[in-house]
Chain A
Amino acid sequence: MIAPALLGFDISWDATLRNVILGSLILGLMSGVLGSFSVLRRQSLIGDTLAHAALPGICLAFMLSGTRTNEWLLTGGLATGLVGIFVMMAISRWSQVKPETALGIVLSVFFGFGILLLTRIQHSNDAGQSGLDRFIFGQAATILPRDLVVMGIIAAISLSVVVLLFKELKVLSFDPDFAAAQGLRPGVTSSILAALIVGVVMMGLQTVGVVLMVSLLIAPAVAARQWTRSLSSMIVLSGAFGMLSGVLGAVSSSLGDRLPTGPMIVSVASVIVIISILAAPDRGILSRIQRRRDRARRMRDDLIQIDHQGRVIW
C-alpha cells in the first residue's frame, strides 16, 4: 500500500476494496485460462449466451425463495443458463436456423424474459430495489469474503482439472476427430470444460455483470495468443493478462469516483488486447507492416542497379 501512495495515488484501502481486488483477480485468472480453450475452439460467444440466459434464473430463484444470497441466486442462474445452451443446441440441430442465429435468439429472449421478471419483482417489492439488477452490470462491491471462498474453491478445481487433463484438452481443441479416433473421449472432455466455463461465468456475473462477461472470456486469451508459440504458454499468459486486467481495473475504479468496476476491468483487458495485436513480434500488426516494408525495399534493391557513374539503371 506504500507504493501507490508514493506514486501519488490516494487509495483508501479497506476491506471492500481488498475483496474487490481479490475477486477480480480470481475471476480474471479463471476466465483467461478457460477462455483460451473456447477461443481456440471458436466458441467464444457461448459464454455470452450463458451469461444472458442466467438472468431469468436469478430472478426465479429470488421469486421462489425470497432470499438474496449469492449462492442461491447464482444456482438459479446456472440452471437457466444451461437450459439456454441446451435450447440453442436444439434449435440449430433441429431446424434450419444457423447456430449463431440460435445463439442470438436464446441470448435476447432469455435476457428479455429475465428483465420482465426483474421489473415485476421491482414493482411488487415493498422494499423497493431488490438489488437483483446488480447482476446486469456487476457490482463488485457486493463481493463478500464468503463469495471469495467459493470463488477460490471453483478456481482451484478448475485449475487442477486443466492441469490434469491438459493433453486431453489440447487434442480436443486442436483435432477432435483425431481425438475420438484415438479413444481419447473428446465428448467427455468437452462436457467437463463446459461445466468449468459455466462456473466461471456465474462467478463473473457478480463482478462484471451479464453484458460484459463475454469480454473476459475472450480478450485475455486473444491477447496471449499474439505472444506465444505453445498452448501451455498461451494459457499461462492468458491467465496473467486476466489477473492483470482484474487488478488494474479494480484499482483504477477505486481511484476515480464513479468509475464502475466492471467496465474498467473490461477496458483494461481491451487495451491489453489492442496493444498485443499491434505490438507483438511476428503476429503483431506493426511487425507485419515492418516486414512488408523490408520485403518491398529488398525487392526494389534487387531491381535497381547503379552504373559505374552512380546513375540509376532500371
Chain B
Amino acid sequence: MTTKSVARPAVAPLAASAQDSTSPVVEIRDLTVAYNENPVVWDVDLDVERGKVTAIVGPNGAGKSTMLKAVLGLVPIAAGHVRVFGSDLRSVRARVAYIPQRGTVDWDFPTDALDVVTMGRYGQIGWLRRPDKRDRQIALECLAKVGLSDFAKRQISQLSGGQQQRVFLARALAQEADLYLMDEPFAGVDAVTERTIVTLLHEVRNAGKTVVAVHHDLQSVPEYFDNVGLLNVKLIASGSVPDVFTEENLKLTYHNAGNAGLETSREMQPISNGSSTPAGAFLR
C-alpha cells in the first residue's frame, strides 16, 4: 500500500518559476517515495541541467527507476515535490518523453513498428481524433533516425531486443519532446543498437534537448554522459562526470547496497507487497 494519503497538503501550489536557458529542466526537492513504508527514494534533492545527458546510477533496488516514475507522476510521493520546466508536470506533459524498460510491454501485441512509433504522437493528437498524414510522416522519419526504416511494417514480436529498444526510442522522438526520461535504455541490447542510441542521444543533446537515463553500466558513463547522479536511496552526489564520478563517491554509493546508512526505526516492519514466491515462506 502506498503512502499517497500521507502526502496531500493544504499548501498553495508554487507559482511557475521563470525559466531561462540556464535554469534546470527538472528540479527535485526533498523527494521521498516509499512502498509500504519502505523508503525507496529518501529525501533527494537533484537538479537536472538543461541541454545535457545525465546518467542516474546506483545499485539494484536503489530507487533509480522509482525516482524517474515519481518525476513522471506514475508513483505517489510521500514527501517533497518535483518541478519540470519550472512547473507542475501536468502542464508540460507534451514536452516530456518517457522510455520505460522494455520488459513492461507485451511484445506479442498485434502491431508493427511504425504503429508503435505513431503512438508517440497520441499525446499531441488529443481525444477522439485520429493520427493524420503528418503524424505518420513524423513517425517514419523517427524510424529512419534509429535505422529501422526497413522494419516499419514488421510485427513487433519479430523484432530483436535491440530493435525493440530502438522502436521505443523512435516513439519518444516522435513526441518531439524537450526532455527525455529513459529507464535502462542500454540493457540487453547489441553493440550496434547501443551505438545508434548513444549517437542519437548526443544529437538530441546538441539540438538543445535534455536527456536523463537510468544506467546500469559504470564503464560507459564517462563516454556517454555529461552529468551523473549517484543514487542509493539517498543521493550520494550529482554533477558533471569529471567532478562527481570519482572512486570515492562510487564506493559510498555501492558500499551498502540499498541502504546507504539509513537510520530506521527499530519498530518499522516492512509489509510484504506479495511479490515473494508463493510458498517461499512455508519452507521451514
Which of A's residues lie within 8 Å of B, judged by CB? 40, 42, 93-94, 96, 98, 164-168, 170-171, 173-175, 177-184, 225, 228-231, 233-234
With a cutoff of 8 Å between Cβ atoms, the chain A residues found around residue B259 in the complex are none
Give CA–CA (A93, B171) in the complex, Å: 33
Q: A98-B278, A181-B93, A229-B155 are in contact. Are A174 and B105 (CB under 8 A)?
A: yes
Which residue from chain A places its CB closest to the CB of B100 in the assembled complex? A177
B72 interface residue (CB < 8 Å to A): yes
Give CA–CA (A184, B121) in the complex, Å: 11
Inter-subunit contact A168/B74 (CB<8 Å): no
With a cutoff of 8 Å between Cβ atoms, the chain A residues found around residue B125 in the complex are 167
With a cutoff of 8 Å between Cβ atoms, the chain B residues found around residue A174 in the complex are 105-106, 109, 111, 116, 119
- Give, as a whole number of angstroms, the nearest-CB distance from A203 to chain B: 26
Q: Is the interface of B mostly helix, strand, loop or mixed?
A: loop
Q: Could you list 16 further interchain pairs (A-B, Cβ under 8 angstroms) beyond the known A181-B96, A182-B122?
A: A42-B106, A98-B278, A167-B125, A171-B119, A171-B122, A173-B109, A174-B119, A175-B105, A175-B119, A178-B98, A182-B123, A184-B122, A229-B111, A230-B111, A230-B112, A233-B110
0/1 interface trace, chain B 218-253, chain A, CB 8 Å (1 if under):
000000000000000000000000000000000000
With a cutoff of 8 Å between Cβ atoms, the chain A residues found around residue B106 in the complex are 40, 42, 174
**In the complex, which residues 101-118 of chain B have their Cβ closer than 8 Å to any Cβ of chain A?**
104-106, 109-112, 115-116
Q: List 27 A-B contacts (CB under 8 A).
A: A40-B109, A42-B106, A98-B274, A165-B128, A167-B119, A167-B122, A167-B130, A170-B111, A171-B122, A173-B109, A174-B105, A174-B106, A174-B116, A178-B100, A180-B72, A181-B72, A181-B74, A181-B98, A182-B93, A182-B98, A183-B90, A184-B122, A228-B110, A230-B112, A231-B109, A231-B111, A234-B110
Inter-subunit contact B104/A96 (CB<8 Å): no
Inter-subunit contact A177/B122 (CB<8 Å): no
With a cutoff of 8 Å between Cβ atoms, the chain A residues found around residue B74 in the complex are 177, 180-181
B131 interface residue (CB < 8 Å to A): yes
Inter-subunit contact B119/A178 (CB<8 Å): yes
Inter-subunit contact B119/A229 (CB<8 Å): no
- Give, as a whole number of angstroms, the nearest-CB distance from B27 to chain A: 19
Give CA–CA (A180, B106) in the complex, Å: 17
Give CA–CA (A230, B111) in the complex, Å: 5
Give CA–CA (A225, B123) in the complex, Å: 27
Inter-subunit contact A229/B274 (CB<8 Å): no
- Give, as a whole number of angstroms, the nearest-CB distance from A101 to chain B: 9
Which residue from chain B places its CB closest to the CB of A182 in the assembled complex? B123
With a cutoff of 8 Å between Cβ atoms, the chain B residues found around residue A165 in the complex are 127-128
Which residue from chain A places its CB closest to the CB of B274 in the assembled complex? A96
With a cutoff of 8 Å between Cβ atoms, the chain A residues found around residue B122 in the complex are 167-168, 171, 179, 182, 184
Give CA–CA (A179, B104) in the complex, Å: 13
- Give, as a whole number of angstroms, the nearest-CB distance from B5 to chain A: 14
- Give, as a whole number of angstroms, the nearest-CB distance from B177 to chain A: 10
With a cutoff of 8 Å between Cβ atoms, the chain B residues found around residue A170 in the complex are 111, 119
B6 interface residue (CB < 8 Å to A): no
Give CA–CA (A177, B72) in the complex, Å: 10
With a cutoff of 8 Å between Cβ atoms, the chain B residues found around residue A168 in the complex are 122, 127
With a cutoff of 8 Å between Cβ atoms, the chain A residues found around residue B171 in the complex are 178
Determine which of A98, A179, A230 lies in contact with B115 in the assembled complex, contact meaning CB atoms within 8 Å. A230
Which residue from chain B places its CB closest to the CB of A40 in the assembled complex? B109
Inter-subunit contact B104/A177 (CB<8 Å): yes
B269 interface residue (CB < 8 Å to A): no
